[in-house]
């Protein structure tokens, strides 16, 4: 499918799952940020009545197209995929509901972005559909939200700066979350539970969950830091705690490096942790975080639930990346976002990824936002999503 042929389709962009918690936020962002301009977009979901209700609730124009589609109906998935240049989907857990739309987009040569943080499913889909997506021209961007765009693009931009400054990429990069305020939704909790069920039924798949190179088929890089225990990091003068999203983010960073032909080096080492401060208090906080599950309990929110509007708008995140060279040279790069990371900011990230895909010239395949879009997406996120990317001296 050529980009010229795709351009003749009825819609530029479709939000699938627009009646769900996160999908509604994506639709609301498009309705208000691109009112009267930008892509011709549509809302898609299982119920025409519910779509109309959400359209009115979010203040979208009354003529916003509504598309009824259900992952249980292959014909509706095929029709949906053939109606748009790009589709962003928030319908998870993807391992339960994602493959029908993904397969339809691959077959139709339609660009696709999701919020998947389920590495086992991602590896299965890459193994199954990567070659077909290359053949059809479908550009598939997994993990187009807080997992893993700030980290994927943060490392990408640090390495661009490192090569410009020092003539070579940093062989060791540390991702350190300096601050973060925000909750998680029932969809995130449901994805975790679905993953645990899958691993219980198919233990052999655990290798993809455990390995930092679970998304780089045929390539196994050097040993990576585990990041699963408190430690003091001299480079930042702070205690560090395990970071719940490191399991998916590190795999996506390595996949971007892999897909681009290892511009960070084949010996690249990367980990992520959360900063808790210096001294005894910092150590105590790090040890508390390391022994306190953040998800997986009886009090997890249910699907459709998530942070309130005030919580989303008062949320934020601040991530530091430190590139290190064997001779002691270092480079620091910061990524900071306004809004709750998992929802307020994520809804903006996936919307902008969908729009950026429409101008993308990369070849098709099961990919990452970093490998497909790189600086073009960084520019969109700076200009539209209130996310900053900057070298720190």
| Tokens standing for residue 138 | 């479908």
Q: Is 290 helix (H, G, I), strand (E, B) or coil?
A: helix
Percent of the chain with pLDDT over 90: 82
- Tell me the pLDDT band of 20, cut-offs 50, 70 and 90: very high
In tens, the pLDDT along 23-40 reads: 999 999 999 999 888 899
Ramachandran class of 301: left when φ > 0, alpha when ψ lies in -120 to 50, beta otherwise: beta
CA nearest neighbour of 126 among 267, 258, 263, 270: 258
Q: Are 358 and 111 within 8 A, CB to CB? A: yes
Q: Report the interhelical angle of 149-166 vs 246-259 (nearest 10°).
A: 50
- Give the pLDDT of residue 297: 64
Does residue 246 register a pLDDT over 70? Answer: yes
- Give the pLDDT of residue 132: 98
- Give the pLDDT of residue 296: 62
Span 234-259, average pLDDT: 95
From CA 309, how far away is CA 318, in angstroms rounded?
Answer: 20
In tens, the pLDDT along 337-360 reads: 999 998 999 999 999 999 999 999
Strand 11-16 with 238-242, pairing: unpaired
Please identify which residue in the block is written with the tokens 């499918």: 1
Does residue 75 register a pLDDT over 80? Answer: yes
- Tell me the pLDDT band of 205, cut-offs 50, 70 and 90: confident
Q: How many CA atoms lie within 13 A of 127 on its CB side?
A: 13
In tens, the pLDDT along 138-169 reads: 999 999 999 999 999 999 999 999 999 999 99
| CA 226 from centroid of its chain's CA atoms | 21
| Tokens standing for residue 235 | 């480079």
Does residue 207 register a pLDDT over 90? Answer: no
Does residue 186 register a pLDDT over 80? Answer: no
Q: In what order do the strands lie in the sheet with 238-242?
A: 231-233, 238-242, 269-277, 172-181, 316-324, 330-338, 387-392
Burial of 184 (0-12, 13-18, 19+ CB in 10 A): buried
Does residue 285 register a pLDDT over 70? Answer: yes
Q: What angle do CA 97, 102, 103 make, to 5 degrees?
A: 110
- Give the pLDDT of residue 36: 80
Does residue 54 register a pLDDT over 90? Answer: yes
The overall average pLDDT reported for the chain is 93
- Give the pLDDT of residue 136: 97
7-21, 54-68, 196-210: which has the minimum mean pLDDT?
Answer: 196-210
DSSP state of 307: -
Q: How many CA atoms lie within 13 A of 44 on its CB side?
A: 25
- Tell me the pLDDT band of 187, cut-offs 50, 70 and 90: low
| Tokens standing for residue 173 | 């990069």
Does residue 196 register a pLDDT over 80? Answer: no
Please identify which residue in the block is written with the tokens 């391992």: 95
């Amino acid at each position: 499918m050529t980009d010229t042929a795709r351009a003749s389709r009825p819609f530029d962009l479709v939000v699938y799952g627009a009646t769900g918690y996160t999908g509604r936020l994506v639709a609301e962002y498009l309705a208000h940020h691109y009112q009267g301009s930008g892509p011709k977009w549509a809302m898609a979901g299982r119920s025409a009545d519910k779509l109309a209700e959400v359209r009115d609730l979010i203040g979208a124009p009354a003529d916003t197209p509504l598309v009824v589609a259900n992952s249980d109906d292959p014909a509706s998935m095929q029709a949906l995929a053939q109606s748009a240049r790009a589709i962003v989907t928030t319908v998870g857990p993807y391992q339960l509901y994602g493959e029908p739309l993904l397969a339809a987009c691959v077959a139709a040569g339609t660009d696709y972005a999701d919020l998947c943080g389920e590495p086992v499913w991602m590896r299965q889909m890459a193994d199954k559909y990567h070659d077909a997506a290359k053949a059809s021209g479908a550009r598939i961007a997994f993990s187009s939200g807080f997992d893993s765009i700030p980290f994927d693009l943060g490392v990408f931009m640090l390495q661009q700066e490192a090569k410009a400054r020092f003539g070579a990429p940093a062989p060791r990069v540390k991702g350190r979350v300096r601050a973060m305020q925000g909750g998680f939704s029932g969809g995130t909790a449901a994805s975790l539970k679905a993953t645990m069920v899958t691993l219980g039924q198919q233990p052999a798949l655990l290798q993809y969950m455990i390995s930092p190179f679970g998304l780089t088929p045929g390539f196994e890089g050097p040993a990576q830091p585990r990041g699963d225990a408190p430690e003091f990091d001299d480079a930042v003068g702070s205690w560090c705690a395990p970071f719940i999203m490191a399991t998916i983010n590190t795999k996506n960073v390595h996949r971007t490096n892999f897909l681009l032909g290892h511009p960070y080096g084949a010996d690249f080492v990367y980990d992520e942790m959360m900063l808790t401060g210096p001294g005894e208090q910092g150590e105590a906080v790090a040890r508390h975080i390391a022994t306190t599950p953040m998800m997986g309990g009886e009090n997890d929110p249910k699907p459709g639930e998530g942070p309130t509007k005030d919580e989303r708008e008062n949320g934020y995140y601040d991530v530091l990346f430190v590139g290190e060279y064997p001779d002691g040279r270092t480079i620091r790069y910061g990524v900071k976002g306004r809004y709750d990371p998992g929802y307020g900011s994520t809804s903006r990230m996936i919307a902008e990824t969908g729009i950026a895909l429409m101008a993308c010239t990369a070849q098709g395949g099961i990919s990452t936002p970093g490998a497909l879009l790189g600086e073009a997406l960084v520019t969109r996120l700076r200009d539209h999503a209130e996310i900053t990317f900057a070298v720190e001296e």
